[in-house]
Structure 1
Amino acid sequence: MRCGNTLLILGFASVMWKSVFGCSEGLENNGSHCIDVNECENPSVVCGDHTKCFNTWGSFTCQCLHGYRHTQGKPNFTAFDNGQCSDINECTDDKEICGPFATCQNIIGSYNCTCKFGYVKINSSNAGHCTDIDECEHEHICGQEGNCMNTNGSYWCKCRKGYTNYGNERTLCSELNCERFSADSRPAQSLGGLADILSMMKNSCLALSNSSTSGEGKAEGEALLEKLLTATDSILSPGPLDNSEGVSGLLSTVENSILLIGPQLKGNRTKIESAETDAQIAVQRGKTRPTGPIYLTNENAGLSTDWKTAAGTGTYPGFALAALLSYKNLEGSVNRSFEELKEDENDDVSFQIFSKVVSVVVSNPSTQNLSHNVTITLRHLQEIKESPELSYICAYWKEKGAWSTDGCHQQHSNTTHTVCTCKHLSSFAVLMALYPMEPDFGLLVVTKIGLVISLLCLILSILTFKFCRSIQGTRNTIHLHLCICLFLADLIFLVGISQTTPEGGCKFVAAMLHFFFLGVFTWMLLEGVQLYRMVVLVFNATIRPLYLYVTGYGAPLVIVIISAIIRPNGYGTDRHCWLSSGLIWSFFGPVCVIIILNVFFFIITVWKLAQKFTSLNPDLSKLHKIKAFTVTAIAQMCVLGLMWVFGAFLFQQGLTPVEYIFTILNSLQGALVFIMHCLLSKQVREEYINILCTPQMKKRSDFSSTNPSSSQSQLQRAMLVINEETLE
């Protein structure tokens, strides 16, 4: 009893002591007694982040939230314990947490399951597993001509005969029109080698059509494209094609073939180049329509469009294609068929292909009515300065074999490129239109007056050399035929240089000008050779007439014949009946050689003359005459050579001053021959006096001949004639 009372007293004393002096940890004094303190009112301070706090009498305990784990593995802990709660990576702790048909993604405090393609969640919770989707429940997922086969997580389409999905198993079945590759068509019969291409493509088309899975031909896309371009090279490599229908057939066949081959290519971008072609193909695959821009470029052209335009607005077959094909040498085969263009222009306007021919192909079946215009950049074949006489036209090749501009227009051009905008697709090229330049009235007057003066002087020279007996000899023969060639060249130049129609007549005029102008220089070379022989050879200095004729006319004839055989189209241009740029050196080449040889002969001649003038017993009369002959020959060569320095630029545009200089020098050439070889010759002047003398002057001349004082002068005159004939 005493012991119980003692414990009661001690307990009461303890309570009284704490009430007076304070409460223990975790408790607080409310004025009368100690009560519990709720430490969990601020759990982030007490327990830390990602925790849950539980209050107890006089204390508390902490637990990690779901998805977190204590770093020391304690399920319950207090703030005094070391460690903290960190995220649990459920995806690594339990690899099967999402099931076999989903992928697990860890997130802070939890995880997320994402079903793989072809699967869907059974329920909306993260732990819900995924099950296969039966895509074949969707109506016409393979198209009306395809049978859907469901597989675990996917499906594939089996196309009926005559349809294919080009190996893209989850796309619509598209109809294959293999009959468009018929080798019995008219273009195939008109162009050799085209039937082989059509047969090859038809076999490939039928193989796709008969394939059970429609995917067996996919791996052969690159090989088939290479075969197509190789077969195209065999058609184009021999040279330009003469048949417009065959050209149209080839272009159409290659475009259809690319549409067949493109979806079978492995990569999304394919570039292949051959000897005659350069192809770039871009393909996009997928169930949704592709978007974004398309840029295809090569050395000669560039294509700018977008995938929406390439795919079209109709039924999307699961792929879209865009291709740019450049032909390296086809422009020579289509540099014609401008009739439709000329209907809207003056008949005098001439057209020519001024870029490589390129074909643009897209999978859009409505290429004649595109949703957006396509931009095609074409590089010019050569740089030409801007001129009011020419313009650039964007044109396309129609199936009937003619150029047209419908639906295409030029966006802008510079000296190297033209940018075209078109609302339909085909094969394109830049055409250069040459408009007739208005003739310069002043130049026409100077040309006609100058050439008439030259012709009159040459007629007088020809008559003089033919009938003046006092100057007959080898040099006279050379001068006679030089004047004949120059007279005929000037006459043909005056009458026919601008008569470009008919084409055959223009070629003939150009050939005659080529022949006679070469003849002038050849006879001038013979004169240099004759002067050289007169100085170097003491006896037998003359050249037999047969040798003169063979050389003077034979050499130019041989050059003209060879030129006509090598380049028959080089005679005659669109503006003048003269040599084209590819044949011009068949004239200037021989002219340069002749001038170089004549310079050599004249140097030797002058050197020999200088030696003979310094000799002890020079024959001064002969030497002075040879000196005079040499001076006139050199002057003649300088004027004629200078004339053709300007003549080299005569037929280019925008060089009117050069045309004036050429015309003036051309007229001076005939006058020079007449003045130097006729008027400055004493014998010729005497012949002119005899012809023009009146009867009274003739009597006076006869009376003077009977005068003894004049007999000596008459004898001297005769001796002079004899010496001149000996000299000749």
Structure 2
Amino acid sequence: MELKWALLLGLFLPSCSGCHTGYTSYEQKCVDEDECAVFPVVCGDHAQCVNTEGSYYCRCHEGFEMSLTGPCKDMDECKDAPDVCGTDGSCYNHQGGYSCKCDQGYSNYGHNQSKCIEMDCNQFGPLSVDHRPKKLKQLMSLLKKSCESLNDPHGEHLTGEELLQNVFSSSDELLSEGTIADGETLNQFLDAVENSMRLIGPQLKEPVTRMETHNTFAEVAVMRGQTPPSGRITLSTDSALFSASWETVVGESYPGFAFAALVSYKDLNSSSDLLYKISRERPDDEERGVSYQLNSKVVTAVISNAETKQLSEPVMLVFTHEEEREESEGVTYSCVYWDDAEGVWSGRGCEGAWSNSTHTVCYWSHFSTFAVLMALYPVQDTFELVMITRVGLALSLVCLFLCILTFKFCRSIQGTRTSIHLHLSISLFIADLVFLCGISSTHNQVACGIVAGLLHFFFLSAFCWMLLEGVQIYRMVVMVFHTTLKHLYMYLVGYGAPLVIVIISAITFPAGYGTKRHCWLSLDRYFILSFFAPVCIIVILNGFVFIITIWKLAKNFSSLNPDLSSLKQIRSFTVAAVAQLCILGGTWIFGFFLFQEKGTEVMLYLFTILNSLQGALIFIMHCLLPKPVRTEYYNLFGRMRPHKKKAKYRTSPSQTSSSQKPLRSDGSTAETHI
């Protein structure tokens, strides 16, 4: 029964009598036949067989074209495209391709199917100047030799990668030696790098080449083909990013290749003289005392397009800041390029820029060597700060003048310590007076230098007299009051030592006295240390002296028969001297931190307040707090009121015998008779 139904169905089902051309029968189905596999040589030797559904076609290899009569035939590029080698090269056709032979003075950089471009090897030749660094001469000689070898097809020449390595090795040596200091040498170096990249870029084999050495970092991109590349290109180094369109890189003429290079110099810093020339474009900044510094690595951007003086589309450069600082009233960032014609950093050609604390984005309409310039504007003194300074210094001068009169004419306190306090007050009085009257006399350079020198001398003198007081108190403890210092020795330390320091400093760096903002010591060449270094030494020595003095006092207090009145007197002297050290030394500690980056405004106010109140604090400690001085003041005020009966101020016998006793003729002081 099953066999019967099977025979009946077979009568009505269609049968496959044959498949169409290009198909073959497989399990009673027609499937595509792969002619390329069945007949491998169906397209000949110069074409590739490509199978399709039900058929196939032949794709000619590069340099061949379809023939109407048979397989692919050789294409005569020299005949079909007469300008394939350019106007300065000869085209030679061969099986499957062609080659260009360039005329003398032209080259296609070793790619014999690229157009011939004019080679100017004389740009690497010796210049008229003879003071170029030796390494720069060797680099130029290497580039010229490599350039000339490109015109000789049979000559030996370095590959692009080898030449790039040699160029960067020479650059490392130049930058490490620090020989690139003047504008002329910098011009020659940057021109050599730019021209070397134009020579090396087309010779590189890889689409992207990155190379990093000790002082340089570069990335180079190369594109080749019959048609110009399109889209955007982005290059980056350790400190910068470059972005542009390939259309900008190619330009008007496309010789069969295009390249772009970005080179970053890790240790190329412009001297202050080159940065100072920027003031030609910004005369107002020079008057305001604005200083400049590069805040990014210097980078050179090079493209194959020779017409880069005015681009149709700006290119973008993103710089990473060397020093992270927020842009504010005191700091601004500018995009600059090296103007080799003027020998200065210039901002001309920058189409736009924006910055934050870490990066600056620049848009340029031309190519060159670029960087980010940071302008540091001097902090303007506020009205409150000026008033604090003037009022505080005026009060300090009045108090110091009273101190001078007291120490000079008050007989009950005459002695070595009083002489030291007298000269300390005189030094501070003159320093504060000069500071108040001449600190802003920056319009006259000579006068400003004299003011800075006087401040340097008298402030150092005040510290030296403070050191003498510490020594005197120590001697009083060790020798139990029976001690004094000769005035000649005190003058040699109090005035002689500061004078020697000022004379040596003035001879070493006379320009260090006076700045554009204030008549004080300059920060250049660490000249400010001629003041801070002696101050730190004196403060440290005084600290050691007071520590030993306090230890001796404690030892004397614990002895079997201590002279309590004398020891208590010395203790009060020591406390006053330590407080004085804290006032003078602490003030200039804030002055030192004033030159640091952080906390400048707070330190400025603390320094100004403490410095302007030094005289008042000294007057309180040495004139108002000691009881013998107060007694003299009370008696003086009593004598100034003759219409009333003078009220005699009673003192204890010990005070009468000790504090009011005049100086003895043998040179000892009242301090030896307490």
TM range (shorter): 0.7 to 0.9
**Alpha-carbon spacing, 1:247–1:464, altered in 2? closer, same or farther (3 Å):** farther
Equivalent-residue separation in structure 2 for 1:266 and 1:555 (angstroms): 70
Partners of 2:348 and 2:654 in 1: CA distance: 92
Instruction: Determine whether 1:113 maps to 2:54.
Output: no
Residue 724 of structure 1 corresponds to which residue in structure 2? 670
Aligned to 1:452: 394
Secondary structure of residue in 1 paired with 2:150: helix
Task: Write the mapping of 1:150-165 to structure 2, written as runs, cut at 5 A.
Answer: 150-165=93-108
Aligned with residue 321 of structure 1, among 259, 263, 267? 259
Q: Give the whole-Å Cα distance in 2 for the aligned partners of 1:593 and 1:226.
A: 51
Structure 1 pair 230/518, CA: closer, same or farther in 2 (3 Å)? Answer: farther
**Pick from 337, 361, 380: which aligns with 2:277?**
337
Residue in structure 2 matched with residue 46 of structure 1 by the alignment? 14
Alignment deviations for residues 661-712 of structure 1 (CA, whole Å, 9 cap, x no partner): 4333223211222343345556667888999997998xx99xx9xxxxx999
The CA deviation at 1:310 is: 1.0
Whole-angstrom distance in 2 between the partners of 1:320 and 1:231: 26
Identify which range, 339-348 or 565-574, moves more after superposition: 565-574
Could you tell me whether the CA contact under 8 Å between 1:191 and 1:243 is conserved in 2? no
C-alpha displacement at 1:307, in angstroms?
1.2
Structure 1 residue 136, shift from structure 2 partner:
1.2
Greater relative CO, 1 or 2 (CA 8 Å, sep 6+): 2
Check if 1:131 corresponds to 2:73. Answer: yes
| Alignment match, 2:4 | none
In structure 1, what residue type is equivalent to 2:364? C
| CA deviation profile, 1:26-81 (whole Å, cap 9, x unmatched) | 999xxxxxxxx9x7xxxxx634xxxxx5xxxxxxxx2233333444xxxxxxxxxx
Separation in 2, partners of 1:443, 1:530: 37
Q: CA deviation at 1:163?
A: 0.3
Distance 2:655 2:494 in 1: 40
2:31 paired with 1:92 = no
TM-aligned CA deviation for residue 251 of structure 1: 1.6
Matched letter for residue 278 of structure 2: F
1:647 equivalent to 2:591? Answer: yes
What stretches of structure 2 of length at least 5 have no aligned partner? 1-6
Does structure 1 conserve the Cα–Cα contact (< 8 Å) formed by 2:412 and 2:660? no
Would you say 1:174 and 2:120 are equivalent positions?
no
- Check conservation: 1:376, 1:419, Cα contact below 8 A: yes
Distance, in Å, in 2 between the alignment partners of 1:276 and 1:511 is 42
Matched with 1:668 is 613
Which among 138, 157, 172 is matched to residue 196 of structure 1? 138
Secondary structure (helix, strand or coil) at the match of 1:46 reads coil
C-alpha distance 26-112 of structure 1, shift in aligned 2 (>3 A): farther
Q: Distance in 1 between matches of 2:161 and 2:442?
A: 50
Q: Distance in 1 between matches of 2:445 and 2:203?
A: 50
Maintained 8 Å contact 1:159/1:212: no
Residue in 2 that maps onto 1:15: none
Larger radius of gyration: 1
Contact 1:647 1:662 in 2 (8 A): yes
Change (3 A) 1:303 1:548: farther
Helix, strand or coil: the match of 2:317?
Answer: strand
Change (3 A) 1:567 1:318: farther
Question: What is the identity, as a one-letter code, of the residue corresponding to 1:268?
Answer: P
Written as runs of structure 1 = structure 2, the 5 A alignment for 1:562-641 is 575-576=517-518, 577-578=520-521, 580=523, 583=526, 594-595=538-539, 598-641=542-585
CA distance in 1: counterparts of 2:470 and 2:211, whole angstroms: 60
Deviates more, 1:573-582 or 1:284-293: 573-582
TM-score w.r.t. length of structure 1: 0.77
Give the match's secondary structure for 1:424: coil
SS at match of 2:287: coil
Cα gap change, 1:421 to 1:667, in 2 (>3 Å) = same
Cα deviation per residue 1:213-260 (whole Å; 9 max; x = unaligned)?
7x964x522222222223333333233744223322322222122111
Output aligned runs, 1:241-640, within 5 Å: 241-313=180-252, 315-333=253-271, 334-343=274-283, 347-348=287-288, 350-353=290-293, 354-399=295-340, 400-435=342-377, 438-462=380-404, 465=407, 471=413, 473-499=415-441, 513=455, 516-538=458-480, 541-542=483-484, 575-576=517-518, 577-578=520-521, 580=523, 583=526, 594-595=538-539, 598-640=542-584
After superposition, residues 30-69 of structure 1 pair within 5 angstroms as: 46-47=14-15, 53=16, 62-69=17-24
Deviation at 1:296, TM superposition (A): 1.5
Show CA shifts across 1:286-341 (max 9, x none). Answer: 2211112111122222111121111112x212221211122223333342311332
Distance 2:180 2:437 in 1: 36
The 3-state SS of whatever aligns with 1:355 is: coil
- Aligned residue pair count: 650
Cα distance per residue 1:530-552 (max 9 Å; x no partner)? 32332234487555666656665
Q: Note the C-alpha offset of 1:120.
A: 1.0
Q: Deviations over 1:363-385 (max 9, x none)?
A: 11111111210111122231223
Q: 1:351–1:431: 8 Å Cα contact kept in structure 2?
A: no
Residue 46 of structure 2 corresponds to residue 104 of structure 1: no
297-306 vs 445-454, which moves further? 445-454
Q: Could you tell me how far apart the structure 1 residues matched to 2:585 and 2:9 are?
A: 127
Q: Residue 493 of structure 1: SS of its match in structure 2? A: helix
| Distance apart, 1:118 and its partner CA | 0.4
Q: 1:549 to 1:291 in 2, by over 3 A?
A: farther
Structure 2: how far apart are the matches of 1:615 and 1:721? 30
Q: Distance in 2 between matches of 1:69 and 1:713?
A: 135
Q: Percent identity?
A: 48
Q: Secondary structure at the match of 2:163?
A: helix
Secondary structure of the corresponding residue to residue 148 of structure 2: helix
Q: What's the counterpart of residue 205 of structure 1?
A: 147
**Partner in structure 2 of residue 75 of structure 1:** none
Q: 1:717 to 1:679 in 2, by over 3 A?
A: closer
Which deviations, in whole Å up to 9, do the C-alpha atoms of 1:135-182 show, x marking residues without a partner? 111212111111111111011111111000001110100001122223
C-alpha distance in structure 2 between counterparts of 1:345 and 1:668, whole Å: 34
The 1:259–1:206 alpha-carbon spacing in structure 2 relative to 1, beyond 3 Å, is same
Kept after mapping to 2: 8 A contact 1:220/1:265: yes
The Cα shift of 1:133 comes to 0.7
- Do the aligned residues in 1 keep the contact of 2:472 with 2:485 (CA within 8 Å)? yes
Q: 2:177 aligns with which of 238, 242, 261?
A: 238
Q: Tell me the equivalent position of 1:18.
A: none
Q: What is the match of residue 8 of structure 1? A: none
Which string of whole-angstrom CA distances, capped at 9 and with x for unpartnered residues, describes residues 418-443 of structure 1?
11111111122222334465542332
Secondary structure of the structure 1 residue equivalent to 2:281:
helix
- d(CA) in 1 for partners of 2:297, 2:9: 98
Q: CA deviation at 1:607?
A: 4.5
Q: 1:27 to 1:176 in 2, by over 3 A?
A: closer
- Partner SS state of residue 332, structure 1: coil
